[in-house]
Structure 1
């Protein structure tokens, strides 16, 4: 049995990949309820993680290719990044905003790729959402089951504008810790340094990615 630290790392890996690498919904399912959406995506991701040996082995290029091909239909990645960067996001140029998104995606893939081989007999239990028809943001609560105590894994979603656009994930909570807030604290350390700016943050994340790639 994994110790608690390893289990949390595994759960964070699950969360990151469930967020970034979910198979896109079929057009007919675009208007499904948010809890039903999360259940469908989680089941599809779990199946992929169990059967794709390259992804299970932490093949960064394969994981990146998978993420690149399906991320946009299911995740409001721009909103996720803007929230993680904070007020200085608005001072970044369009090019810098795209670079921040690209480097952040690499950071997540590189950080969690090594833990994916731990997926084996896990299942996910999604709790029903209580919401009003006019609600535009919801939290879908779930638990990962299979090893030791259940692990809390919650998703924050926003209803995207336009008919049939459906819900998109923009934050994740693993055992009471919201992912975006965790990265925001890290990013603020760089941004609050003398001369800190969106460009210095880009350079800092790129340096971390280069170091991770060299391991």
Structure 2
């Protein structure tokens, strides 16, 4: 199971926390939103020693307060599950979203402790005013190594929301689709929920392998 959840939240954390040189922009535009949130989150990390030390409670509070308002994690989870989403009850859907979010936070909380002054370069943003689904592209330079980091957003009545992240050419949603599908095929929706819950318990107790 060690390789099952290797990718995403590191990308999310780096995406939102590496904006050392990002300038605050117009939150009503996709690129402005991403740049502004990166700056706000980085400032909070620098000011909070508990987050820097890996305190999972403070990290979860940071994600809930500063990141989740600008993401649609339910949409992310629904796309990861594909047609299996509709076979889950509303309560199962709610629990899977919450356990998946917690799993990503727990798995990659250590990345926050490493956030310092990575440089981020935003690629020119190109989109038509009528577009409702866009990609904001960037490159993060970490210890001299460039990391491709892109964000997929869609327009909602409440503004733009991030729902997918691409790191080094691998999109979060695509990375998890097969893994979730296999769990459901073998054990059903309840089996997927049980697996996510047990994995979180292992991570919380330090027994994950």
* TM-score between both structures, scaled by the size of structure 1: 0.82
Q: TM-score, normalised by structure 2?
A: 0.84
For 1:207, the equivalent position in structure 2 comes to: 198
How many matched pairs? 195
Q: 1:49 is matched with which residue? A: 45
In 2: Cα distance, 1:72 partner to 1:140 partner: 18
Distance of 2:205 and 2:132 partners within structure 1:
42
- Answer yes or no: is the 8 Å Cα contact 1:142–1:154 preserved in 2: yes
The equivalent of 2:95 in structure 1 is 99
C-alpha contact (below 8 Å) 2:13/2:111 kept by paired residues: no
Cα offset, 1:17, TM superposition: 3.0
Cα offset for 1:107? 0.2
Q: 1:187: which partner in 2?
A: 180
20, 33, 36: which is aligned to 2:32?
36
Alignment deviations for residues 130-184 of structure 1 (CA, whole Å, 9 cap, x no partner): 1111100001001112412211100000011x3xx22100000011111111122
Q: Take 1:146 and 1:51, find their aligned partners in 2: how far apart are those partners?
A: 21
1:20/1:67 contact within 8 Å kept: no
Question: Which residue does the alignment assign to 1:3?
Answer: none
Paired residue secondary structure (2:143): coil
Where do 5+ consecutive residues of structure 1 fail to align? 1-8, 22-27
Partners of 1:42 and 1:124 within 8 A in 2: no
> Which whole-Å CA distance do the structure 2 matches of 1:108 and 1:157 have between them?
19
Q: CA deviation at 1:41?
A: 1.2
Tell me if the contact between 2:41 and 2:66 (Cα under 8 Å) persists in the aligned partners: no
Deviation at residue 211 of structure 1 after TM alignment: 0.6
Q: Measured at CA, do residues 20 and 200 of structure 1 come closer, stay the same or move farther in structure 2, by a change above 3 Å? A: farther
Maintained 8 Å contact 2:37/2:66: no
Return closer, same or farther for 1:205/1:14 CA change in 2, 3 Å cut-off: closer
- Say what the alpha-carbon RMSD is for the aligned residues: 2.3
